[in-house]
Amino acid sequence: MQTESDIIPSVIRIVENNGFSLNRYKKTFIQRRIVLRMNACKISDVSKYLQLLKTPDEFEAFVKSISVNVTSFFRDVSPFDTIGRKIIPVLASRPNLSGVLRVWSAGCATGEEPYSVSILLNERLRRTSLNYEIFATDRNQKALDHASDGIYKESDISKIDSLFKARYFTKFNADSYQVSPQIRKPITFRLEDISKPTTKKFDMIFCRNVMIYFEKQAQDVVVNNFYDSLKPGGFLVSGMDEVFVNENFSNLFTPFDLKQKIFQKREKPLN
């Protein structure tokens, strides 16, 4: 008979046997998601839930709950304002930009973040000769499929500036809108793990309220990967609730706007 004390390793074993790694997540976070799913399924018996988790439908529901797809367009307006006013002009003035500003939206969920960034860049660069590319990644294929379509309910875009809504969204059906082609085109959506090294180099990386759920060791790997993936002087935009437990973080990044949780890559690590 399974007990509450051993459900986490049992769940991890089932999930990882199906190709989805949970080793980066905090055990307390996994436990909360297990309780959430058991309550949703109206199951109080641990053994019964473990049997249910082996079915395709519940496995998919559990993985979706772990993927934390909590997002919205222009989530937390202040960081976007700072990026538009202060960071984009700095990046646009760099001689080594080669005409293309490159951004990584890491943990992009259902696409609201990369589309928000695309709108911001389109607005700020439209009177310049610069282009931009956005590399948007997530570990949830269904979320990426939704993101690629760029179709959202009217309620999803209700808080977007009316000018942006008119300029960058078109009516898709009775209650949905689709992001315009000019905003979708610069974005590449891909299933990818943010802890894996990439050969791409970016001017700016968005990773907002993702690592807050990671164990310290996983944070270390991701932070080092972001440092290596940024161009010299590149920017890391983290979540407003993010707290880095990586002791090496301050050796790699310096605060650009601490209130907005925006950091800049140091030219060389301090240690």
CA–chain centroid gap for 189, Å, is: 12
- pTM (whole model) above 0.85: no
* pLDDT value at 54 more than 50: yes
* pLDDT per position as a tens digit, 135-192: 999 988 888 999 999 999 988 888 888 889 999 999 999 889 999 999 999 999 999 9
Query: What's the confidence (pLDDT) of residue 246?
Result: 63
What confidence tier does 70 reach under pLDDT thresholds 50, 70, 90?
low
* pLDDT per position as a tens digit, 98-123: 789 999 999 898 999 999 999 999 99
Query: 27-40 and 7-17 helices cross at what angle (nearest 10)?
Result: 90
CB 177, CB 145: distance < 8 Å: no
What confidence tier does 62 reach under pLDDT thresholds 50, 70, 90?
confident
What is the maximal distance between C-alpha atoms in the chain?
66
Of 108, 103, 124, 90, the C-alpha closest to 257 is 90
Task: Please report the beta strands in the chain, taking only residues with DSSP state E, as ranges in sequence order.
Answer: 100-106, 131-138, 151-153, 169-173, 176-179, 187-191, 202-207, 230-238, 253-257, 262-265
Average pLDDT over residues 53-76: 79
CA dihedral 76, 153, 146, 260 (to 10 degrees): 0
What confidence tier does 5 reach under pLDDT thresholds 50, 70, 90?
low
Q: Domains in the chain, ordered, with CATH?
A: 4-66 (1.10.155), 77-265 (3.40.50.150)
